[in-house]
């Protein structure tokens, strides 16, 4: 198992296939995670949508993040993209009515090689996605291109605060609780072992703001999530200059 999880962290293109294995239990497992949907709703609110926008929900999974964005969309549209067939099956089941109404659509695509023309979206939401990308900067450059001038980006992810205790506490939470508990609930340990390792390697809030700025985003900011989650989770905001 140690070898396999090392392979996954060094071969992130294989991550969506791992999500296929747990897609049927993903909503149940995340439903047990305190504040999961509330945090997504909060991060989606940072986009300050008016309702008519075209929004990309990148790495949409089973559609929990899509639902957070859709709450702000009346006449616009959310396109959910993910590279796991299994996760998209679950998402499509949930939003049958909305997709008939034309408010939402799901597409199977690799987030590192998106098939949309430049300036396609008013806003992009990426929840628990950037951490899974083999190259964060290349992915963000692509998102910058896909946004219309003045478009907004929110990245929502685990990101360990710059305090001395965030990393040891993440180790205790990850290895002591998330891996054993989620393995029992989902029936697979590999993706959760990868989760713990990938969070250790991911950008700190300070690094994320620096990277967004390097890519060309303006007004880049980090928003910690609520309560105890503030040391583990952040939303990163940036705008493409108008």
Ligand X SMILES: C[S@@+](CC[C@H](N)C(=O)[O-])C[C@H]1O[C@@H](n2cnc3c(N)ncnc32)[C@H](O)[C@@H]1O
Least distance to ligand X, CB of residue 81, Å:
6
Q: Which is nearer to ligand X, 90 or 122 (CB)?
A: 90
Q: Is 112 in the site for ligand X (CB under 6 A)?
A: yes
Q: Which helix (H) or strand (E) holds 41?
A: helix 36-45
How many other C-beta atoms are found inside a 10 Å radius of the C-beta of residue 227? 9
Least distance to ligand X, CB of residue 49, Å:
17
CA distance 56 to 69: 9
Q: Is 121 in the site for ligand X (CB under 6 A)?
A: no
Report residue 216 as tokens.
């060309």
CA atoms within 13 A on the CB side of 227: 5
Q: Is 64 in the site for ligand X (CB under 6 A)?
A: yes
Q: Is 60 in the site for ligand X (CB under 6 A)?
A: yes
Ramachandran area for residue 227 (φ above 0: left; ψ -120 to 50: alpha; else beta)? left
Candidates 84, 159, 193, 198; binder of ligand X (CB under 6 A) is 84
Q: Is 196 in the site for ligand X (CB under 6 A)?
A: no
**Which of helix, strand or coil describes residue 109?**
coil
Candidates 5, 8, 19, 95; binder of ligand X (CB under 6 A) is 19
Candidates 128, 144, 233, 237; binder of ligand X (CB under 6 A) is 128
Residues constituting the chain: 242
Q: Which is nearer to ligand X, 65 or 159 (CB)?
A: 65
Using Cβ positions, the residue closest to ligand X within the complex turns out to be 61
DSSP class per residue in 16-34:
HHHHHHHHHHHHHHHHTST
Residues that bind ligand X (CB under 6 A): 15-16, 19, 40, 59-61, 64-65, 82-84, 87, 110-112, 127-129, 132
């Amino acid at each position: 198992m140690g070898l396999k999880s090392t392979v996954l962290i060094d071969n992130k293109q294989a991550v969506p296939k791992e999500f296929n294995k747990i897609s049927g239990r993903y909503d149940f497992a995340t439903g047990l995670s305190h504040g999961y949907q509330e945090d997504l709703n909060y991060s989606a609110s940072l986009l300050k949508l008016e309702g008519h926008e075209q929004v990309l929900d990148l790495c949409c999974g089973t559609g929990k993040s899509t639902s957070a964005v859709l709450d702000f969309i009346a006449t616009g549209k959310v396109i959910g993209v993910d590279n796991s067939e299994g996760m998209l099956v679950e998402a499509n089941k949930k939003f049958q009515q909305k997709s008939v109404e034309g408010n939402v659509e799901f597409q199977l695509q690799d987030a590192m090689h998106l098939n949309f023309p430049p300036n396609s979206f008013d806003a992009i939401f990426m929840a628990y996605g950037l951490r899974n990308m083999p190259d964060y900067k290349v992915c963000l450059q692509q998102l910058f291109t896909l946004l219309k001038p003045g478009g907004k980006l929110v990245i929502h992810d685990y990101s360990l605060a710059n305090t001395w205790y965030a990393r040891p506490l993440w180790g205790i939470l990850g290895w002591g609780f998330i891996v054993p508990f989620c393995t029992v609930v989902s029936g697979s340990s590999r993706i959760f072992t990868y989760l713990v390792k990938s969070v250790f390697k991911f950008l700190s809030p300070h690094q994320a703001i620096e990277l967004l700025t390097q890519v060309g985003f303006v007004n880049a900011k980090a928003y910690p999530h609520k309560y105890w989650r503030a040391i583990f989770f952040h939303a990163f905001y940036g705008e493409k200059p108008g």
